[in-house]
Amino acid sequence: MNQRRTITGFVLATLVLGVVGAVGAAEVVLLQMNEPRTGIGRAWRLFGLTTLTTGLLAGGVVGAYFAARDAGDGSSASIVAFAFMEGGVIAGFVGMVLGALVGVVLALDTRRRDVRP
């Protein structure tokens, strides 16, 4: 993995898309990195991927639902865009919290399996 290109992509995604870009770029970095050799490294990677993926999916699904609901009511494009962003941010935060809870359990299990043969 080219570190300079990764950092440049992370900065550009954050500047263009804000928090969503930072979360997406962090997930891409975790997916591209080599598999950690230690159980603790694998546990941290799994925790991060679970947290970020759950937040992105929850934000996208709920944001799309809010936007579709407002578009169905005949709202203007700016209202629909605001509904998508507002619903996505709120649900994304909640999704990340829930993903972190699940990630902790998965990470602890991964670490426990690595310690015991």
DSSP conformation letters of 77-99? HHHHHHHHHHHHHHHHHHHHHHH
How far is Cα 39 from Cα 45, in angstroms, rounded to an integer?
Answer: 10
65 has pLDDT over 90: yes
The ranges assigned to domains in the chain are: 1-34, 37-115
Cβ contact 115:101 at 8 Å = no
Mean pLDDT over 73-90 rounds to 87
Average pLDDT, the chain: 84
Task: Give the per-residue pLDDT at 117.
Answer: 55
The larger pLDDT score, comparing residue 4 to residue 84, is at 84
pTM of the full structure? 0.76
Q: Is 55 exposed, middle or buried (0-12, 13-18, 19+ CB in 10 A)?
A: buried
Mean pLDDT over 75-89 rounds to 87
pLDDT in tens, 2-39: 667 777 777 777 777 777 778 888 888 888 888 888 88
Any alpha helices (H) in 1-76, and if so which ranges?
Answer: 3-32, 39-72
Q: Grade residue 115 by pLDDT with cuts at 50, 70 and 90.
A: low
